[in-house]
A and B are shown apart, each in its own frame.
Chain A
Amino acid sequence: MLRSMNHWNGGLFDEFRRLEREIDQVFGAGGWPSGIRSVTRGTYPPINIGSTPEQVDVYVLAAGLDPKSIDVTIQQNLLTVAGERKLEREEGANYYRRERFEGAFRRVLSLPDDVDPARVEANYRDGVLHITVKRRESARPRQITVN
């Protein structure tokens, strides 16, 4: 079970790359319209969004944050994640590399229209903020029994 989850884990992320390549091939790189709220690659924090018929899952990859400093708000289908990352700097030490992000951040995500802003949950674990937004019941696919 664990193995299949891991496998699927990688599978979803691989699928994104494959999709991107195919879109590039069909439309030519740069021809695909960008979302109005999309950001430059490399913006902090990186975010992945996935969906199932029941819910939309948002993964914010923000290591080393104080969970209390993370501000998650939702208005209709617009999810905002904001916060500040503070790093301890050692005075008198000689820094060779400073690649890790420091400072305030804010990302606004446009989720599918059928999410229910009243049913949002957020967890912080291993440096990943996982936000689950349930979809409205009426929007879910329903199995109709044929008599």
Chain B
Amino acid sequence: MNTTKDLGRPEAGAVAQGPDAEHFLRPAVDILEDEGGITLYADMPGVPRDGLDVVVEGDTLSIEGRADFRLPEGMQALYADVRSTRYQRSFSLSRELEGDKIAATLKDGVLSLRIPKREEHKPRKIDVRVD
């Protein structure tokens, strides 16, 4: 029985296969709608442009990011609020949204997505005639 566990740095290779290897952070989002479509903002600090994946598959929009904190070699942990470097969150889109026309930008760790509505679903102002 091994009760005295090594609290130091985990062995190389052990991390990727660990039970928590797929632990994801859930990015905080703001979602709003106007006449032209839906805008989504997601906070993903630490994610560079090449670490970001925005995928639409069927009616599911998935956002994934891998943060790169550029840690110096041999660093020991003193304190941590954040215990993963991977972000993941997904949303289901409704039919009136054009999933294949999503525009994405990433600036200072904030992802902005614009999901336009199909033309025929944009609200039309109906004139009310008064006779």
Contacts and interface: CB of A to CB of B under 8 A. Distances in A.
Interface of A: 5-20, 22, 41, 43, 45-53, 55-57, 59, 61-65, 87, 90, 92-101, 109, 112, 124, 126-128, 130
Contacts, number: 175
B83 interface: yes
Given A16-B80, A92-B34, A126-B48, 11 more contacts: A14-B20, A14-B83, A48-B82, A52-B72, A53-B74, A63-B108, A87-B41, A90-B39, A95-B32, A126-B109, A130-B70
Contacts of A12: 71, 75, 77
A9 B83 CA distance: 10
Given A22-B5, A57-B71, A127-B43, A48 B109 contact: no
Which 6 A/B pairs are nearest by Cβ-Cβ distance?
Answer: A127-B109, A63-B109, A127-B45, A46-B81, A64-B110, A61-B45
B77 A63 contact: no
B83 A13 contact: yes
A interface, by DSSP: helix, strand, loop or mixed? mixed
B46 A127 contact: yes
Interface of B: 5, 7, 9-10, 12, 15-16, 18, 20-21, 23, 28-34, 39, 41, 43-48, 66-86, 107-110
9 contacts: A6-B85, A14-B15, A17-B23, A47-B79, A61-B45, A63-B44, A90-B32, A126-B109, A130-B69
A109 B73 CA distance: 23
B30 A64 contact: no
